[in-house]
Structure 1
Amino acid sequence: MKNEIDGATGCLLFIALLAVTVAAFFLKGLYLMLAWSWVMVPIFKLPALTYWGATAISFLWVILFGPHPKLKDNGDPIDSLKSSVLILATDALFMGILWLVILGI
């Protein structure tokens, strides 16, 4: 039997997916700003990016080069939510590794 989702559960999953998507949008700008400040500014002496500038660059990147390849529209909101959370966790892991490298640990 197919996994059926009732209306209330589907609505809650949609709201959760929307919240994770908005959080990812704003966190990507933060990640880009921090990575730019930690790598590009000291090495190449480029000016630092502001948070909103980094968020705009991240947004333009998504528009120009399409959605994340791990996100597939298969119609299942649970799979979409899992993929979004996995992408956020992966980004956070990479930012933590970059931070440790910058600290010299």
Structure 2
Amino acid sequence: MSIIYRIGIVMALLLASLVSNAQSKSYRIYNEFDQQDGFSWFSVSKSMLDVVDLTLDDENKKVTGDLKEIRIMFYNPEKAQLHKNFYRMMNYKLSRMRYKKAGT
């Protein structure tokens, strides 16, 4: 194997790991629960959002950053087989993400 071929393989592996780590923090939660009973979710992509003219009247209600996707997950405790501290666990997971609050 030539050295250039080896460097190419290493670069491809590094790029693949960077792309997977760059995935949104919230996707980890979706990936953890999306196949379990009692969870439903839907997603709205950027192309669907571009169709809607988003106008906000109040100066304090601004959309900041690039909005690429909205994902919403629903939890039905009657159908899910999770431990009783689910809400506490979710609060802990969300608090560790340290999202910046809009307007601060």
User: Please, what TM-score do these two structures have when normalized by structure 2?
Assistant: 0.27
More helix by share: 1
